Chains A and B, each alone.
Chain A
């Protein structure tokens, strides 16, 4: 099939003018490159405190031959992985590196000055710009063919109950941080609450009708009208609840959650799995095309006791390179996060693309990232960017090493790959020559 740069060009090639457009719009068989049938999705997964570079990055550029320990869980999907070394967060200004690390990660622009004091540098506030996930959401929601119920979902696992620069990654605009939902029950309620409401409602309406009938029998003349009317409304509601239009989301079963899993540190593996299941469900149901998935927070302090690690993640991440025990633990922590990524990948690969060909993974790109390159140096160079899945036509199964390019350019690549051809994103000074080259 020939590729056309724009819909207009395509129409011209068919000899059609804009006047014919309304007719064409109703013809689903006419697909458009990047605008039509393929549903593209983007998931950004975040874990904190940097990585142990030697145990993380593939040694050489080119086709991926083998993974280092932290990335080993991705082995089954090796040909669908793309690692990007040398992408750096060059945004400076107020805030310490943990704050800027998360706050500028998806926004590519400085934090506002503020009153939140980190471990060093000057105090800072919220990001001064929108994040790329929200930019893409707005883009997709602005067009009927890519519009979905929520547009985007912001998920988390054990994100602390406080709103500050370290706990927020997504921004709907300057000074507008978005809180991720880290409680699976709350998420389920957001996704399926209305459907459950309707079921509950349906279960009580018969009894309500009975009540009305009983009372109506005891009431005289003029007053009966109010009860009769009310009974009619109840019947109408019953009809509406069972009508096909209201069977929205009924093409798949609502997921069942294991009850009573509390949000505490030791439940982290279960919570992670529940959230991933809900995320995959949401994508299959086409509730959203963009998602962020945030483990804990920048400076996160998960204690991975299930790996035999008693220390908090952040305090471990400060230990020096020659502390082998700590480096081993940090490697295993990142490996655990990679296992979550692998589980997400597996679930997407197993789930057929509804109404399309292949699997969800064929149309989804996951970007796993971090606020720091390395925990003990707090560097914002070589931010981990591990891409999985085939949602964006990038050439996968490779390792690329860039010469310290700014991460704004990667954000632009993501936007372009999703069909949103932004000239710049975030601070224009870091947008260089536009999207990174060599990805596709």
Chain B
């Protein structure tokens, strides 16, 4: 079951539970509980066999005046483990098929482990191993195989040979083709350039008005765009500019008009939506196109009115995986023209994410087939646009000259794809041979493209046929920072031998970290770090929260993306601000729902009568301080609080899991047994906190929920929609919580602000963030880097005021300059 489906199941279950609690099948609850941890369901219960085959023995017999230390402690632990534990857990913690099939692996501290053993182990005979014995067993387990460092010692992580991930493939092809097109600066001026005509023919003499429109959301009714210059019966408009796609996926564009209109997106010749001929009653036209995130695409919209009674035009879109249409506004639209981008449409199987980040460590038949189809698609695209890309129009050039230009194009194409210059021998087989084989230029080009894109020199992230050279360093930087190919300045630095200097490498990394492609990757990172990368739109119990509409939910999603973007894209890009900022970007709709009160944006002033100002105001986000003194950045962003909640009630477990995993980097195992969440209706007198405590009170739950619950409880002052609340069921909210640090220290806090203060000061959050960022960006194990290098990255992060942008550049430069 996919993650979104399980989450959905979890929500529906709650809704059901409210009404049909007693009819609920326990199996459904299993899914619900497991969904919390986002892991595949376990079938069956753990073994009921008595813990330990061997008698308890006399290991705990001796009493020591001094606590054991060091090797002595470990030796004692080894004996106890062999005697009392190995029967079920295996000689080296690998597990036992019958008794306890899971490996003893985790990140609890020795103190946590000893408490756990003291309280619960051996199973059904916990009194046999307590106190000093428990501590010795914990120390031995921790040191020998349990802890991440023990695991690392047993199997040192290594940099694995990797193929391109789907993201890398798509981005690389876009940049590969883009290299042969005019290079446009990143468009910044918002809106679209608009031209208004007094007739339906868009000739110069009919043009009466030019301006920049922030959006195309007009209701002209029976009037005209400018009654002083344009008569209502007949007129035309044209909007030109570009559109920025915030993430990769299928975008559905929506034209709403009762007149004639044509929309061009990323293709300047073929309309995406051709609604030029109005026919019958159709007023809404939809068409999808795949776009890559963090890039700008050319957009043009033509409109005309002829004799119809009324006129209106609205340009909307539905972003990937969303459930509502949203108007396109100056957040997304730019006035500048940009060239077309090649977006490969072949669908690839998703990349392996089993260890928490996407990587290309394996190949499959389906992947190979997709890579072939994509190569064919690209070959056809290139062959059809050869005059443009190779600057070789058949009409303008004699055949010989045309062949030369096309061969030149091919050579550069291969060199860009392979990220290095070709040897003469390579050029002879890769370029010259297809051209002599005939029969025509287009066929030769197609063969070059196919050969290049099927070659391991393109498909492998790095070809390990020698020690890394300057071109490998350049490619490492661009893969890490952009998931794409090196750009011309980087290739120039490589060819001039500048990249042997780590300072130069770092400067390039810093330059590249500010590029929109890096910003887009950062946005993608945060989507998965926040665990909101699928099923973006949230639904709530409509009886309890009638105003929580799909449109409001869509705004909320955009709000969290804007929140991250504004901080991460800002000058400081300070990680801590993500957890402490008190303002939230809100639309008027959101402000009303979250009772931002006097801080709410003012109502729109209607001026023009064409409806634009009102439509735009409703869709415009402003930073609004919400609930002064109560909010703590992402921790209390209403989107996350709503996402980590049920449809009717909050979910301290969802919230606690997020805090444990993403913020503190703790690993959590799947629940040891199938557990049905308790229905609120069965315990109407209990608060959510009490119900969760009751639910997870058993021994087997406590090993994880002792960590999860006290973190999640600190956000109990926020309901299922993330609204602030003072009480639940007539009783004041208890939002006190605590955390056992990896050092064994017990830290107590109350509410979101105190939690944020802890998270922004502890090194655990910092270290976890560095590791997670490293994994997402490098796609190789963090622990494959030398230990001093890991330490340096952590220290640099702190020294550079927790600038996320700097950290990304530091990580990229560090990996690029590594010797392997």
Contact = CB atoms under 8 A, between A and B. Distances in A.
**Do A and B interact?**
yes
Interface of A: 111-117, 123-126, 128, 162-165, 174-175, 189, 193, 196-197, 200-201, 203-205, 207-208, 211-212, 214-215, 218-219, 222-223, 226-227, 229-230, 233-234, 236-237, 259-260
Given A115-B306, A163-B274, A208 B455 contact: yes
Contacts of A116: 260, 277-278
Contacts of A165: 277
B784 interface: no
B59 interface: no
B180 interface: no
B234 to A, nearest CB: 10
B161 A126 contact: no
A234 B367 CA distance: 12
A125 B304 CA distance: 14
Interface stretch (B223-231, B445-453, B682-690): B445-453
A188 to B, nearest CB: 12
Given A114-B280, A164-B277, A218-B464, A223 B160 contact: yes
B362 interface: yes
A125 to B, nearest CB: 2
Contacts of B454: 204-205, 208, 234
A258 to B, nearest CB: 12
B259 interface: yes
Contacts, number: 118
B161 A226 contact: yes
B450 A230 contact: no
A197 B161 CA distance: 30
B415 to A, nearest CB: 16
B376 A126 contact: no
Interface centre among A218, A226, A229 (most CB of B within 10 A): A226
B161 A223 contact: yes
A197 to B, nearest CB: 5
Nearest to B258: A115
B277 A200 contact: no
Given A219-B161, A233-B368, A259 B440 contact: yes
B279 interface: yes
A418 B746 CA distance: 85
A117 B234 CA distance: 12
B279 A114 contact: yes
Given A117-B306, A215-B465, A230 B456 contact: yes
Nearest to A229: B363
B277 A207 contact: no
A233 B459 CA distance: 14
Contacts of A128: 280
A201 B277 contact: no
Contact of B307 (A123, A162, A164, A227): A123
B363 A226 contact: yes
A125 B280 contact: yes
Contact of A230 (B277, B307, B368, B464): B368
Contacts of B365: 233, 236
Contacts of A111: 279
Given A215-B463, A223-B160, A223-B161, A200 B279 contact: no
Contacts of B304: 115
Contact of A222 (B160, B368, B459, B463): B160
Contact of A200 (B280, B450, B459): B450
Contact of B306 (A123, A201, A215): A123
Contact of B363 (A126, A174, A230): A230
Nearest to B448: A204
B308 interface: yes
Given A207-B429, A215-B456, A259-B440, A114 B447 contact: no
Interface centre among B305, B376, B443 (most CB of A within 10 A): B376
A203 B454 CA distance: 12
B460 interface: yes
B307 A237 contact: no
Contact of B372 (A114, A212, A237): A237
A175 B280 contact: yes
A373 B363 CA distance: 64
A158 to B, nearest CB: 18
A227 B277 contact: no
B361 to A, nearest CB: 7
B20 interface: no
B279 A112 contact: yes
A38 to B, nearest CB: 38
Contacts of B308: 115
Contacts of B282: 175
25 contacts: A115-B306, A115-B308, A125-B277, A125-B280, A126-B277, A126-B279, A163-B277, A189-B380, A197-B376, A204-B447, A204-B450, A207-B451, A207-B455, A211-B457, A214-B465, A215-B457, A215-B464, A222-B158, A226-B163, A226-B362, A226-B363, A234-B368, A234-B454, A237-B372, A259-B440
Given A126-B277, A233-B363, A227 B456 contact: yes
A351 to B, nearest CB: 25
A257 B455 CA distance: 31
Interface in B424-478: 429, 437, 440, 443, 446-447, 450-451, 454-457, 459-460, 463-466
Interface in B153-185: 158, 160-161, 163
B451 A115 contact: no
A230 B371 CA distance: 11
A272 B440 CA distance: 23
A219 B464 contact: yes
A318 to B, nearest CB: 22
Q: Which 7 A-B pairs have the closest CB atoms?
A: A125-B279, A223-B161, A112-B280, A218-B465, A233-B368, A126-B279, A115-B278
Nearest to B259: A115
B279 A204 contact: no
B535 to A, nearest CB: 32
A233 B370 CA distance: 12
B276 interface: yes
Nearest to B366: A233
B349 interface: no
Interface string B133-154: 0000000000000000000000
A125 B308 CA distance: 13
A227 B368 contact: no
Nearest to A203: B447
A213 to B, nearest CB: 10
Given A123-B306, A201-B450, A226-B363, A163 B394 contact: no
Contacts of A233: 363, 365, 368
A237 B260 contact: no
Nearest to B281: A112
Contacts of B160: 222-223
Interface centre among A189, A196, A207 (most CB of B within 10 A): A207
Contacts of B260: 115-116
Contacts of A227: 161, 456
Given A112-B279, A175-B282, A193-B380, 18 more contacts: A114-B277, A115-B278, A115-B305, A116-B260, A124-B279, A125-B278, A174-B280, A197-B376, A200-B447, A204-B451, A204-B454, A208-B454, A229-B362, A230-B368, A233-B363, A234-B368, A236-B365, A237-B368
